[in-house]
Structure 1
Amino acid sequence: MMHSTIDRTIGNTPLVRLQRIPGADVAARGTVILGKLEGNNPGGSVKDRPVLSMIRGAEARGEIHPGDRLIEATSGNTGIAMAMIAAMTGYRMTLIMPDNLSAERRASMRAYGAELILTPAVQGGMEYARDLAMTMQANGEGRVLDQFANPDNPRAHYDTTGPEIWRDTQGGITHFVSAMGTTGTIMGVSRFLREQEAGVMIVGAQPSEGSQIAGIRKWSPAYQPKIYQPSEVDRIEQVSQADAEEMARRLAAEEGIFCGPSAAGACVIALRVAAEVENATIVFIVCDRGDRYLSTGLFPG
């Protein structure tokens, strides 16, 4: 009798068709929009994939060993995945995050046994958290896996997410849409899909000026993720905070898809693309679950 461990349940998430939100015009043009439900991973987000890849990769290279302390700057989902997989594999985990992120995310990380360091959002947000993580590593306080520069991040999506999308669309995908944060998802999936079909259009979602959307970032040049390769993205579209939040509510109420604002932002862009094309199969990443945003007021109480 075979019994899986929790890490074996990561991946192979469902790909589901939007039924109501796209509307009759999109359907009449033969286009379908599909969401990949990454909230079905055991840690509740797409970040389970790269975190497992980064930890296993560092172990294979002899860079870390169970009992070591890992340090990571995170805006939330990576931290939850880090805390979960560190608990499973026997690492101590210190997570650094701005203090304006949701209470549910903090509680989830602590439930897995992680130590949290909350930094003032007004002091520099994620950029400050990233700098502090590197300073702590330089002081010998632990090892930073660095999701922003670690090639094991996009490799996870090249090895798993991309092949799953190709398989589940039977090679019919024409457009791939993803929110851009660390950019690991869009980098890995883009590379895999283009090796199968060079004509697949890769579209990234970034927040519009003044918008703050958890999980989507537009980095300054000094903090641009080192894993990001602009040539792997055909088009970058901006989405407003208001549009992303309204779409999160619509996805829950009209499609039964309960997700956060970064996934909803990608959906906004998928619909924008759908309005321009015919006979297309558009896939967007539903990054996480909406229950970790309940305290933020995103959804009606």
Structure 2
Amino acid sequence: MTHVYESVLDAVGHTPLIRLNRIGEGIGAPVYLKAEFLNPGGSVKDRAARHMVLAAERDGTLRPGGVVVEGTSGNTGIGLAIVAAQRGYRTIVVVPDKTSADKLAVLRAYGAEVIVTPGGLPREDPGHVSQLARRIADETPGAWFANQYDNPANPQAHVDTTGPELWEQTAGRVTHYVAGIGTGGTVSGTGAYLKRVSDGRVRVIGVDPESSTYGGGDGSPYYVESIGHYLHPGTVEDLWPQSFHTDVLDAVERVGDRDAIETTRALARQEGLLVGASGGAAVAAALRVARGLGPGDLVVVVAPDSGRNYLSKYFDDGWLLRNGFLDGTGTRPVLGDLVAGAPAPAVVPATASVAQAREVFDRTGAEVAIVVLDRASTAPSRSAGDVIGALFRDDLKEDPERLPVAAVLPAGGAGEPVDEAFARAGGDWLAVLHDGRVRAVVPRPLVASP
């Protein structure tokens, strides 16, 4: 049947289910992927964007000629920009600086005004994504703040569309629904519908990065976009989105960055499916769940967006090498070989006193330490996103009143060839990253000629 639509808004949804054959080989339960990257804007967020805008029109908070404002990691902004273009509104989106360049280009292509702000800020900071977006909305005549995190139309979009589609597509055979937790709208809305229509038979599994607080992590930075919940140590009150209904979930599967990225790349090369790393994380979790099931079960997993938004990240070997997500080839010495037996780096919390810093150096014998944001955990995260500077033992000899924190050390990935890494980074010291976290700190004289 040929589908003919009156506008792009009618083309949102109706995405296919695709069975994972090669990547799921040997698993008893079939696993089907909900291809949300086939929405007009390339992501599941088109559904929420359409619902939120239409609801705002109905209740009068968005009027003709108005301005749509949102804080987003990119996908919701793209969806809103598409809906706004079709409905005749301007769009202003605020995005964190970790957002891929590909997404920024797409946002601008749809005519959105893009404002980039630092991503690693406390929630109460005026520059925080949500705070800045809200202030812009308050100060812009005719503006409406979409606020996907707390907007009830976000999960409702999936109660009304995604859930019924999945139930119909599987003829009611779905037993397990797996989706990443970002704002929580997709997993909550779809999960609520499936539980209701199945009389509670369908199990709902949320997927979360290992360090995200949703699944019990310490809130430190992670590398998978559009999923999870980062928590800055300076945040006074950790507010979770009202769009995330925790009572809908039966379990949360935590997935590490490397597992998510490797699964993302495997989907492209083994299934011909180019998806983002949040989809890779969800599939990694879905396969984990499916291994414990049988042929009478049916697992559905959501791939929220397209890998075309991440060609400069998860599909770029250079980016992966620099951040420690690719290992060496075995043909040349790499940084990982150099630090294989090295101790973990010396770590000094940003709030430490000079005396406490000296204690760290005395205990570890290190010449240089990384300075990190303080976290309420038994061990420092050492995530590259938490590192704010370096501290040298020699700089404490003059008995300074405050920590003489130097700039962040240049970094190289554990899989990078030693000579190339030092030639690229420069400097006398190098922080070696494995899976985006500082594995060790090494000096140039030990690995390269002067």
User: Kindly tell me: are residues 20 and 87 of structure 1, through their superposed partners in 2, closer, same or farther at Cα, counting changes over 3 Å?
Assistant: same
Structure 1 segment 122-137 matched on structure 2, within 5 A: 122-124=120-122, 128-137=128-137
Report what 2:148 is aligned to: 147
Report what 1:138 is aligned to: 138
Return the alpha-carbon distance in structure 2 between the equivalents of residues 46 and 155 of structure 1. 13
Return the alpha-carbon distance in structure 2 between the equivalents of residues 169 and 100 of structure 1. 37
Letter in 2 for 1:298: F
Report what 2:67 is aligned to: 69
Structure 1 segment 64-103 matched on structure 2, within 5 A: 64-103=62-101
- Residues 1:226 and 2:242 are matched in the alignment: yes
User: Kindly tell me: are residues 47 and 117 of structure 1, through their superposed partners in 2, closer, same or farther at Cα, counting changes over 3 Å?
Assistant: same
**Which moves more between the two structures, 206-215 or 246-255?**
206-215
User: Kindly tell me: are residues 121 and 23 of structure 1, through their superposed partners in 2, closer, same or farther at Cα, counting changes over 3 Å?
Assistant: same
Query: Which whole-Å deviations, capped at 9, do the CAs of 1:16-36 have from their partners, x for residues lacking one?
Result: 100111122x1xx3x100000
Return the alpha-carbon distance in structure 1 between the equivalents of residues 123 and 76 of structure 2. 16
Query: Which whole-Å deviations, capped at 9, do the CAs of 1:259-285 have from their partners, x for residues lacking one?
Result: 000001000100110111112100000
Return the alpha-carbon distance in structure 2 between the equivalents of residues 299 and 200 of structure 1. 37
Report what 1:15 is aligned to: 17
Structure 1 segment 207-222 matched on structure 2, within 5 A: 207-209=209-211, 210=220, 211-218=222-229, 220=231, 222=238
Q: Offset at 1:299?
A: 4.2
Return the alpha-carbon distance in structure 1 between the equivalents of residues 59 and 12 of structure 2. 22
Query: Which whole-Å deviations, capped at 9, do the CAs of 1:86-107 have from their partners, x for residues lacking one?
Result: 1111111100001221111011
**Which moves more between the two structures, 96-105 or 137-146?**
137-146
Report what 2:180 is aligned to: 179
Q: CA RMSD in A?
A: 1.9
Q: Offset at 1:55?
A: 0.2
Return the alpha-carbon distance in structure 2 between the equivalents of residues 121 and 69 of structure 1. 24
Q: TM-score, normalised by structure 2?
A: 0.63
Report what 1:273 is aligned to: 289
SS where residue 296 of structure 1 aligns?
coil
SS where residue 69 of structure 2 aligns?
strand
SS where residue 92 of structure 2 aligns?
strand
Query: Which whole-Å deviations, capped at 9, do the CAs of 1:199-222 have from their partners, x for residues lacking one?
Result: 100000010025331011125562
Letter in 2 for 1:187: S
SS where residue 177 of structure 2 aligns?
strand
Report what 2:307 is aligned to: 290
Q: Offset at 1:172?
A: 0.2
User: Kindly tell me: are residues 186 and 126 of structure 1, through their superposed partners in 2, closer, same or farther at Cα, counting changes over 3 Å?
Assistant: farther
Return the alpha-carbon distance in structure 2 between the equivalents of residues 6 and 53 of structure 1. 14
Report what 2:191 is aligned to: 190
User: Kindly tell me: are residues 140 and 114 of structure 1, through their superposed partners in 2, closer, same or farther at Cα, counting changes over 3 Å?
Assistant: closer
SS where residue 183 of structure 2 aligns?
coil
Query: Which whole-Å deviations, capped at 9, do the CAs of 1:15-68 have from their partners, x for residues lacking one?
Result: 0100111122x1xx3x10000000111111000000000000010111111211
CA contact (8 A) 1:119 1:125 kept: no
Q: Offset at 1:80?
A: 0.9
CA contact (8 A) 2:119 2:129 kept: no
CA contact (8 A) 2:188 2:246 kept: no
Q: TM-score, normalised by structure 1?
A: 0.94
User: Kindly tell me: are residues 3 and 45 of structure 1, through their superposed partners in 2, closer, same or farther at Cα, counting changes over 3 Å?
Assistant: closer
Structure 1 segment 193-204 matched on structure 2, within 5 A: 193-197=194-198, 198-204=200-206
Report what 2:110 is aligned to: 112
Q: Offset at 1:140?
A: 4.5
Return the alpha-carbon distance in structure 2 between the equivalents of residues 163 and 73 of structure 1. 29
Report what 1:170 is aligned to: 171
Return the alpha-carbon distance in structure 2 between the equivalents of residues 299 and 9 of structure 1. 31
User: Kindly tell me: are residues 125 and 289 of structure 1, through their superposed partners in 2, closer, same or farther at Cα, counting changes over 3 Å?
Assistant: farther
Choose 1 or 2 for highest CA Rg. 2
- Residues 1:161 and 2:162 are matched in the alignment: yes
Q: Offset at 1:297?
A: 4.6
Structure 2 unaligned segments of length 5 or more: list them. 212-219, 232-236, 319-450
Query: Which whole-Å deviations, capped at 9, do the CAs of 1:154-187 have from their partners, x for residues lacking one?
Result: 1110000000000000000000000000010011
Q: Which has the higher helix share?
A: 1
**Which moves more between the two structures, 206-215 or 67-76?**
206-215
User: Kindly tell me: are residues 80 and 252 of structure 1, through their superposed partners in 2, closer, same or farther at Cα, counting changes over 3 Å?
Assistant: same
Return the alpha-carbon distance in structure 1 between the equivalents of residues 20 and 5 of structure 2. 34
